[in-house]
Chain A
Amino acid sequence: EPEVTQTPSHQVTQMGQEVILRCVPISNHLYFYWYRQILGQKVEFLVSFYNNEISEKSEIFDDQFSVERPDGSNFTLKIRSTKLEDSAMYFCATTFSGGVAKNIQYFGAGTRLSVL
């Protein structure tokens, strides 16, 4: 069964460093998302991406964050200068746009980011 693949599974970084989280979407999916989940809390939307541009972003997604799909397969989330409060699980999700109402978002296994 096709799945969303995220790498790395765990990333440890020093405060102020840049990190790039990677996602390989399901092959025929066209909408891509990043969500984050701080330990013990609910899942929060960060950004959605369609047709090589951001569709929507939350107030969490400030200038320190960026997304891109550099090679037509990987979908990346970059945090330019990490802060302690960026420590969280980051989920990539993708969905197929085919006129089907439910358009389920399928999630990757997540990248746990630990900022020290």
Chain B
Amino acid sequence: AQKITQTQPGMFVQEKEAVTLDCTYDTSDPSYGLFWYKQPSSGEMIFLIYQGSYDQQNATEGRYSLNFQKARKSANLVISASQLGDSAMYFCAMRENGYNQGGKLIFGQGTELSVKP
């Protein structure tokens, strides 16, 4: 069964506006970690932000924040003040058994974000 779902294949946002990229997940493990990665057209995978299942507060990293709603099993990425350089593919990923330091990541299908000038 698919465990990470990103329902938006593509999104457009105007420069300087905020945008939310959706991610829902499914797991029966009480301990897990959620990650967002950015993949620009050059192909590399860049880590953006992490949320642990037991974290009390939503994670923030600069212009990135994670809207974590545990009961709804959603972990949406919010990018504030979009920049042209934010145009990329964004992947949501989960690691089950979050305190298993070596666990694999399971990725969603990705959302392609295009920032318009």
Contact = CB atoms under 8 A, between A and B. Distances in A.
A and B held together in a complex: yes
Interface of A: 31, 33, 35, 41-45, 48, 50, 55-56, 58, 89, 91, 93, 95, 97-110, 112
B47 A95 contact: no
Contacts of B91: 42-43
A35 B42 CA distance: 17
B101 A31 contact: yes
B102 A45 contact: no
B43 A109 contact: yes
A91 B50 contact: no
B25 interface: no
Nearest to B44: A109
Interface residues of B, number: 26
Nearest to A58: B104
Contact of A95 (B42, B99, B101, B106): B101
B89 to A, nearest CB: 10
Contact of B52 (A42, A102, A110): A102
A32 to B, nearest CB: 9
B104 A33 contact: yes
B110 A42 contact: yes
B45 interface: yes
B60 to A, nearest CB: 14
30 contacts: A31-B101, A33-B104, A33-B105, A42-B107, A43-B45, A43-B91, A43-B93, A43-B105, A43-B107, A44-B107, A45-B104, A45-B106, A48-B103, A48-B104, A58-B104, A93-B45, A95-B101, A97-B102, A99-B101, A102-B50, A103-B101, A104-B47, A105-B35, A105-B105, A106-B47, A107-B46, A109-B42, A109-B44, A110-B44, A110-B45
